[in-house]
Amino acid sequence: MRLKRAPVYLRRLIRALYIPAAVNCPLLIWLAFQLLRPDSGIFFRTMVTAAVLLGVWAAWIYLNIVPWPREEFASRRLTIMEGGRHLCRLALYGMAVQALGMWFGYPGLKALLERAGENAPLGSHPGLFLWGNCIYAVILLFLLMWNGILRMFFTSRRLRLGMRALMLLAMWVPGVNLLVLCYAMRKVHAEYDFECYKESVRLVRRESELCRTRYPLVMVHGVGFRDLRYFNYWGRIPRELTRYGATVYYGNQEAFATVEQNAGDILKVVQRVARETGCGKVNMIAHSKGGLDSRYAISRLGAAPWVASLTTVCTPHRGCRFVDRACRLPEWLYRGVARVFDWGFGRFGDAHPDFY
Q: Residues 317-355: pLDDT tens digits?
A: 999 888 888 888 898 998 898 899 889 888 877 888 998
* Long-range CB pairs of 331-334, under 8 A, 24+ apart, other chains included: none
**What residue ranges define each of the domains in the chain, with the CATH number in brackets?**
8-203 (no CATH), 217-347 (3.40.50.1820)
Handedness of CA 94, 99, 101, 106 (dihedral sign): positive
Average pLDDT, the chain: 86
Type of residue numbered 310: L
What's the pLDDT score for residue 125?
A: 67
Q: Tell me the C-alpha to C-alpha distance, in Å, between residue 280 and each of 248, 273, 303.
A: 15, 8, 12
Do 220 and 254 touch, CB atoms closer than 8 A? no
Q: Above 60 in pLDDT, residue 316?
A: yes
Q: Where are the alpha helices (DSSP H) in the chain?
A: 8-23, 25-35, 42-65, 76-100, 106-116, 126-155, 161-170, 176-208, 237-243, 259-277, 289-299, 321-326, 331-347
List pLDDT tens digits, range 74-116: 899 999 999 999 999 999 999 999 888 888 877 776 676 666 6
Q: Above 90 in pLDDT, residue 130?
A: no
Between 206 and 259, whose confidence is greater?
Answer: 259
Report d(CA 28, CA 30) in Å as an integer. Answer: 5
What's the pLDDT score for residue 6?
A: 61
Do 113 and 123 touch, CB atoms closer than 8 A? yes
Radius of gyration of the chain (CA): 34
Type of residue numbered 14: I
